């Protein structure tokens, strides 16, 4: 899972200032070497700071996962979702891909 377009460009800038001191701790290339479960937390923070909120859900009775993405746009919360993934990792990947798509569409407006 890789970010694309403006999402990737702005996430790289976000990494540089993430710890508040303006110093780069990791380049995007170095960050991409971390396991996806570690990357996921910073992706969620980045999108949340840009009013795109990601929720991952698990339904043990069905043994299925899904995600919901909320985006605050022009005074309204828009909602996107997808369901029936078999594992947490697959669900996280799909959620980040959708958040990336939403972010890049907003940047084009």
pLDDT category, 26, cuts 50, 70, 90?
confident
Query: Please, is 61 exposed, middle or buried when counting C-beta atoms within 10 Å of its C-beta (0-12, 13-18, 19+)?
Result: exposed
The whole-number pLDDT of residue 50 equals 92
8 Å CB contact between 102 and 71: yes
* 95, containing H or E segment: helix 88-108
C-alpha distance from residue 94 to each of 28, 39, 68, 105 (Å): 20, 14, 10, 17
The whole-number pLDDT of residue 20 equals 59
pLDDT in tens, 27-69: 788 888 999 989 999 999 999 999 999 999 888 888 888 999 9
CA 77 to centroid of chain Cα atoms: 17
Global pTM reads: 0.85
Domain that holds residue 88: 5-108
Q: Say how many domains are in the chain.
A: 1
The whole-number pLDDT of residue 69 equals 93
């Amino acid at each position: 899972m890789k970010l694309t377009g403006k999402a990737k460009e702005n996430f790289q800038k976000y990494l540089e200032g993430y710890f508040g001191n303006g110093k780069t701790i990791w380049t995007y290339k170095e960050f991409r070497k971390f396991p996806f479960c570690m990357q996921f937390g910073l992706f969620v923070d980045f999108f949340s700071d840009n009013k795109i909120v990601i929720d991952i859900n698990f339904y043990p009775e069905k043994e299925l996962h899904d995600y919901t993405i909320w985006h605050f746009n022009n005074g309204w919360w828009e909602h996107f979702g997808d369901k029936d993934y078999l594992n947490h990792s697959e669900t996280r990947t799909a959620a980040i891909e959708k958040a990336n798509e939403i972010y890049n569409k907003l940047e084009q407006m």
